Amino acid sequence: MALTIRDIAKLAGVSRGTVDRVLHNRGRVDPEVEQRIKAIVRECNYQPSRAAQQLSMRKQKLRIGFLSRIDQNGFWSIVIRSADKAERELAEYGITIEKRYFDYCRPETQLEMINELVAMDISALVIVPLDDPLIRQRLQELDQQGIVVILLQSEISGFSPFCYIGSDYYIGGRTAAGLLHNFTAGRPSQILLLNGSKYLSSHRLRRSGFLDELDAYHTPHELIESGDITSDPEYAYHQARKQLEAHPEITAVYTVPDSAAAVSRAIRDMGRIGQITHIGFGMTDSTRPCILDGSLSASIGHRAEQQGYLPFSILLEYFISGQIPGERRILMLNDIFIKQNSVF
């Protein structure tokens, strides 16, 4: 039979309330009594029941902050739906998730959002961070205060979080270059590279991986680069169309941010399907039709459902049992989608 708090109290010669305070680090207990209780717990390998843990966590009323990007029918919509599913499950343990969303912002704005969440007395923060010294410093402060920080999709140089959940975006960029090389059979290409945000390490790595792999292939190419098209789909559409109109010689497009559907629309509206090889990211309700009609030749997915759910699953296990993930960098596979495997 499993050892109970009542059993521990009897063995230690104390009340159940005293045992509970020791197990959950609540209130003052005589140091000698505390050591005696902890020795019994170790010797008897006491494991609290899931029901008892659930009741205890309900009393604590834990809050998790969630600061994520948002979009319409894209990658982040899937992430948020998965986070909503996790929220319903965490509610059974009395854990609430306080949410803030952004589509495009500067570090100063993200810092304000972080501070809003911290003011709500959060115990953990799941964040899609902007890679900027202002954000790094604030997250370091939170870490020192004991707030658990999980980074989602992008990392920050010089900061070690509780864990990172995302993908290897440098490999994603290399994969995109490999796909382009295969689609074009290594023929010379006039490539339009549509850049992402300088504040997102995922975007920078997608770009550098792509360019490094092109060089490794010795693929003959000329490069035309745009500025950041991350802000919104309409802006991405107009920037892509502007470049395609100005450079009719373009034969390939590489879309770095999660804007492939908007760029595909520009290719479609200009009647360039079949003339342009387009490589982008994300398998969503908005990108799948583009793959099927040929305006998006291939897309690289990063398992948005898992990225949205996993941070909260990890935090639940940590709050319940102190379990720390075995891997501090949890990487999603780069899934490749083309027309033949996108009908489902």
Give the pLDDT score at 257. Answer: 92
pLDDT recorded at residue 14: 86
Dihedral angle over CA of 198, 201, 202, 205, nearest 10:
90
Residue 250, pLDDT score: 96
Give pLDDT, residue 25: 65
- Residues 6+ away with beta carbon under 8 Å from 141: none
Task: Classify 19 as helix, strand or coil.
Answer: helix
DSSP H helical ranges for 105-229: 107-118, 133-144, 169-184, 201-217
- What is the structure's pLDDT at 102? 85
Do 59-166+304-332 and 169-303 come out as alike in CATH topology?
yes
Boundaries of every domain in the chain: 5-47, 59-166+304-332, 169-303
- Residues linked to residue 151 through DSSP beta bridges, in sequence order: 127, 164
Are the CB atoms for 100 and 65 separated by under 8 Å?
yes
| Structure-token pair, residue 108 | 């100063």
Interior angle at CA 334, CA 164 and CA 152, nearest 5: 20
Quickly name the fold that domain 169-303 has: Rossmann fold (3.40.50)
pLDDT averages per 10-residue partition of the chain, 344 residues: 74 80 71 88 74 56 90 82 91 89 86 96 95 95 92 92 94 96 91 94 95 90 90 90 96 95 96 96 91 96 92 89 84 92 73
pLDDT number for residue 324? 82
- The string of DSSP codes covering 239-305 is HHHHHHHH-TT--EEEE-SS-HHHHHHHHHHTT-BTTBEEEEE--STTTHHHHHHTSSSEEEE--HH
Give yes or no for a contact between 66 and 33, defined as CB atoms under 8 angstroms apart: no
CB within 8 Å of 307: residues ≥ 6 apart? 79, 82, 152, 153, 165, 166, 332
284: amino acid identity, one letter: T
Q: Which CATH class for the 59-166+304-332 domain? A: alpha beta
What is the chain's alpha carbon radius of gyration, rounded to the nearest angstrom? 25
Whole-prediction pTM: 0.79
Q: What is the pLDDT of residue 4?
A: 72
Q: Which pLDDT score, from 0 to 100, does residue 216 have? A: 92
Instruction: Check residue 322 and give its pLDDT.
Output: 76
